[in-house]
Structure 1
Amino acid sequence: MRAIGRHLSVDMYGCNFDNLDNFELIKTAILAAIEEANMTLLNLSYHKFEPQGLTVLALLNHCHISIHTYPELGYAAVDIFSCGDYSRPDRALLVLKKVLKPEKTKTTNFVRGDFGSQKDMKPRIRISIAPLRRVRNTSAKVWSYLRKK
């Protein structure tokens, strides 16, 4: 079975302060990204924080784009979630990168709703038993030595 959607979670570092605090610029960028990615806008909502910062949410048909900006840090957190095969979240991301001009990005791709092809998304933790066994054996030797005295 195919996955329901793709989710890009992107950290953008080293962005220009003025770009991150400019709602009109980010709104224009999101609208261009929506068009480039073949998505359909249902509603656009935003909140301007004081003294700076924005949260912009584009509610789309079967998906969403959100941007949270921290101009004082030169940082933007971007989420692009897309359902179906017709939309291209990677193209939307390219448009947003072109406008925000980050020096560095970190992108995490999630496959959403894959119904079993992924067993578990938790990181695997391995514990080596050998060091524990060494500690137990050493303590047994110490106790044995102390009892003889």
Structure 2
Amino acid sequence: MAKTLGVHIVADLYGCDPEILKSADRMAEIFEGAVREAKLNKLSSHFHQFYPYGATGVIVISESHLSFHTWPEHGYVAIDVYTCGAHELAFKAFDYIVDKLNPSRVEKDVHFRGVIDESEEVEFASAYSVEA
């Protein structure tokens, strides 16, 4: 039986409001909201405002990360949502971001990371078990 350790959503959003995309603060609000909405566990964040416009940012979560990089002059933002927690939480965070940015077009790739056979996990765990 196989299981997946993480899900990584990589997306290009087109036709977004340039007024939102040009502001690191507004993008931070959306991404922080996605973390809260999906009940992810924030560890830290960093956002940067480019001049004359544009923004980039990342939120590090215990499950992995959410990130963005904007091109407001094109109404475009590249985003990543990667979690090693419950897969539905990644999709919940992603859907929240898409809802708030309201793009006219979304191109999304979903990568299931760390697809392992559960028997491999047992072998690894027994090989590295700690004796009391």
CA deviation after TM superposition for structure 1 residue 26, in Å: 1.2
2:130 aligns to what?
none
The 3-state SS of whatever aligns with 1:57 is strand
Aligned positions of 1:99-118 closer than 5 A: 99-115=100-116
RMSD: 1.5
Partner SS, residue 11 of structure 2? strand
1:96 is aligned to: 97
Percentage identity across paired residues of the two chains: 28
Regions of 4+ moved over 4 Å: none
Larger RCO (CA within 8 A; separation ≥ 6): 2
Structure 1 residues 99 and 90: CA distance shift in structure 2, 3 A: same
Q: Secondary structure at the match of 1:111?
A: strand
Give unpaired runs (5+ residues) of structure 1.
117-149
Give the distance between the partners of 2:87 and 2:94, measured in 1 at CA. 16
What is residue 147 of structure 1 aligned with on the other side?
none
* 1:27 CA displacement: 1.2
Identify if the C-alpha distance between structure 1 residues 6 and 86 changes in structure 2 by more than 3 Å, giving closer, same or farther.
closer
1:2 maps onto 2:16 in alignment: no
Q: Deviations over 1:42-97 (max 9, x none)?
A: 11101211221111100001210001000011100000000022761111111111
Number of residue pairs matched?
Answer: 116
Structure 2 residues not aligned, in runs of 5+: 118-132
DSSP-derived class of the 2:52 partner: coil
Report the secondary structure of 2:39's partner residue.
coil
Could you tell me the TM-score, scaled by structure 1's length? 0.73
> Which structure is higher in strand share?
2
Larger radius of gyration: 1
Find out whether 1:63 has 2:68 as its counterpart. Answer: no
Q: Report the TM-score, using the length of structure 2 for normalisation.
A: 0.82
Contact kept in structure 1, 2:21 and 2:77, CA below 8 Å: yes
Q: CA deviation at 1:3?
A: 1.2
